[in-house]
A and B are shown apart, each in its own frame.
Chain A
Amino acid sequence: MTTAAHNNRLPLTALFGVLLGAAIMVAPLVWTLLLSLKSNSELMRDSSAAFSAPYTLENYRAILVGSDVPRWLLNSIIVSLGTTAAVLMLCSLAGYGFARLDFPFRRTLFVFVLLGLAIPEQAVILPRHQLFATLGWHNSYPGLILPGLAAPFGVFFMTQYFRAIPKDLDEAAMLDGASRLDVFWRILLPLTLPAQATLGVFTFLGSWNDYWWPLISATTSDKYTLTVGLAAAQMNYAQTSGLGFLMAQAVFASIPILIVYIIFQKQIVQAMAGAAVR
């Protein structure tokens, strides 16, 4: 990012504003981290104890041994990776189909898919809950994964990407004796890798952080995802074993997604901006 519009030095007031904002961003995080490193009994007396030693990893040990959190983490990983893999597959196939093949009702079907972009989750989540209840799909991995697969944005995104690849490449490959499947698999799909990364990270993040659906679909603790598990933990705060333990759960649950964020920062920003502008 470059600009010559502003002088390269930030004016003092702006610098002060940015630093103040950064402090407000960071303070709750540091506070949470400090709380998570204190023994529960000490915090019970006064949470100010968070500002001074001794610190301990006891809460984290308690998470790993004898809490449900690792189980929830595993569930979140299974659901998010499952959703991401399935979305990438479905959207790549459909994107290729819409961009490169002609079949009856192609345009109509594409418009039909685009209409889905206008339906917010609130309009479908309750009837879908009914539907899944009738089919007995709640409290299962498929029950948690399936709703994420109706992703019109992914199809739109992949279709646009396939369209941007010159058709010459398909034709060159056909002249090289490649079958349609070869063209898709060996020429076009490798070229969509950047789009796959963007859509994949976007889907993973959405699935990982989803709250509404797992909240109503996963009602037994063994199928909770991290978001629902942590929600239950904070609702039952009074009965749980303490503030430090609770905050350690928050930190523990943040670590995987922050790692994903640090690795895929570019894709995440791109995907979220792309989905917003669409």
Chain B
Amino acid sequence: MTSLSLIDVRKSYGATPVLDGVTLEMGDCEFIAFLGPSGSGKSTLLRIIAGLEMADSGEVWLEGKRIDALAPGGRGVALVFQQYALYPHMTVRENMAFGLRNAKVPNTEIAARITQAAQTLEIDQLLDRKPGQLSGGQRQRVAIGRAIVKEPKLFLLDEPLSNLDAALRNRTRVELAQLRQRVRAAVIMVTHDQAEAMTLADRIVVMNDRKIQQVGAPMEIYDRPANRFVARFVGSPAMTILPAQGHAASGGYAQVQLKNGTLIQTRVSTADLPDDGEIEIGLRPEHVTVTAPGSGTIDGEAVIVERLGDRTLVYARLDDGSEIVAVDRGDSSVRMGVRVGLQIDGACAHLFDADGTCHHAERDQL
């Protein structure tokens, strides 16, 4: 059964378009993340679903009912705001009860739902405090609690972790994942943080430039990005992209030549690549490993060395000035300024044609 569907939703502020025809189907109880940089339109889309903004055209359906003309309170959605937006003059209990009272839910039912939600979120000790007396993490739980008691068909989370410090963010991420198992409802989360999106979502909607760039499961987005934007935006550190010349090679797979002449054999089918044209090659850091100078595919100079413990990231500058990110062992001895060899795993490389479309290595060959 579909939960939410968006059909060709468009929105502009005056002459500035912010959404260019967004269409999306959400499965029952699915957790979807809208991932994109600021200005990509993801927050506007969330607000249109919530009813806080009106789309210029297009339709919004929720569980078989068209909702785009309904008031925000009548749509069966709940929104957890980035800054929580708790009512400062009400206690936690009153905050949670406010929406239910407006919906004319009987008092005994209100009390029961609050008790239940408070236990789930471990905020039962805080029910009679005001938001000003709570810590950031506690406010977040109350904001979630206020959404849960409404028993909405769809939860909307606007950058839910962005106001928490690093330690709390990791804990809350785990809690959100657990919570998700308990509430029988679909969830949409807006975020600019790919780690949040990757760990929590069933599917990720990558947005940029007013449009959906790609919809897919987290690993699909990572392994088979649809285009240059998605490839660069998802993954940290970002995929290295180098200009190259494409050459057809035996077996129907493309062979490309870097600016300094180095040849790399890929597993990308030549079928839909431009012939011998200008092309770009994309390499995830884990597909470039550091070796002794002269022993790898290409040599470069280590510019930055980031020691992460389990592995070391080496940012190397090639002789033509372009930069490439490579991975070395955790106990790597590479220091800044030394020359290193780089072993490129061409079988995992992606190729981008002139309009930015990404071509992937054929998977059944791997």
Contact = CB atoms under 8 A, between A and B. Distances in A.
Name the residue in B50, B52, B83 with the highest tally of chain A Cβ atoms < 10 Å from its Cβ: B52
Nearest to B104: A177
Given A168-B83, A182-B102, A174 B73 contact: yes
A178 B50 CA distance: 14
Contacts of A191: 88-89
Interface stretch (B11-19, B56-64, B74-82, B210-218): B74-82
Contact of A177 (B83, B84, B87, B103): B103
A194 to B, nearest CB: 11
B99 interface: yes
Interface string A184-208: 0001001100000000000000000
B338 interface: no
B50 A176 contact: no
B81 A177 contact: no
Nearest to B158: A168
A177 B52 contact: no
A171 interface: yes
B88 to A, nearest CB: 6
A175 B78 contact: yes
A175 B73 contact: yes
A250 interface: no
Contact of B74 (A173, A177, A190): A177
Interface residues of A, number: 15
Interface of B: 50-52, 71-74, 77-79, 81-89, 98-99, 102-103, 146, 150
Contacts of A57: none
B85 A172 contact: yes
Interface in A141-190: 166, 168-169, 171-178, 182, 187, 190
B85 A169 contact: yes
Given A176-B98, A176-B102, A177-B102, A171 B73 contact: no
A174 B72 contact: yes
Contacts of A168: 81-85
A85 to B, nearest CB: 21
Q: Which 7 pairs from chain A and chain B are nearest by CB?
A: A177-B73, A176-B99, A168-B85, A177-B102, A172-B85, A174-B72, A190-B89
Contact of B79 (A172, A177, A178, A182): A172
A171 B98 contact: no
22 contacts: A166-B83, A168-B83, A168-B85, A169-B85, A169-B87, A172-B87, A173-B87, A173-B98, A174-B52, A174-B71, A174-B72, A174-B73, A175-B72, A175-B77, A175-B79, A176-B99, A176-B102, A176-B150, A177-B74, A177-B103, A191-B88, A191-B89
A178 to B, nearest CB: 6
A182 B89 CA distance: 15
Contact of A178 (B51, B73, B77, B88): B73
Interface in A49-95: none
Nearest to A174: B72
Contacts of B78: 175
A61 B159 CA distance: 70
Contact of B99 (A166, A177, A190): A177
Contacts of B98: 173, 176, 178
Contacts of A169: 85, 87
Nearest to A175: B72
Given A166-B83, A166-B85, A190-B89, A171 B72 contact: yes
Contacts of B50: 171, 175
Given A176-B146, A177-B73, A190-B89, 10 more contacts: A168-B81, A168-B83, A171-B72, A171-B81, A172-B85, A173-B87, A175-B52, A177-B72, A177-B103, A191-B88
Contacts of B150: 176
A171 B99 CA distance: 12
B46 to A, nearest CB: 11
A177 B103 CA distance: 7
Name the residue in B50, B83, B87, B150 with the highest tally of chain A Cβ atoms < 10 Å from its Cβ: B87
A177 B83 CA distance: 20
A173 B146 CA distance: 11
Contacts of A190: 89
Nearest to B89: A190
A191 B131 CA distance: 13
Nearest to B81: A168
A168 B81 CA distance: 7
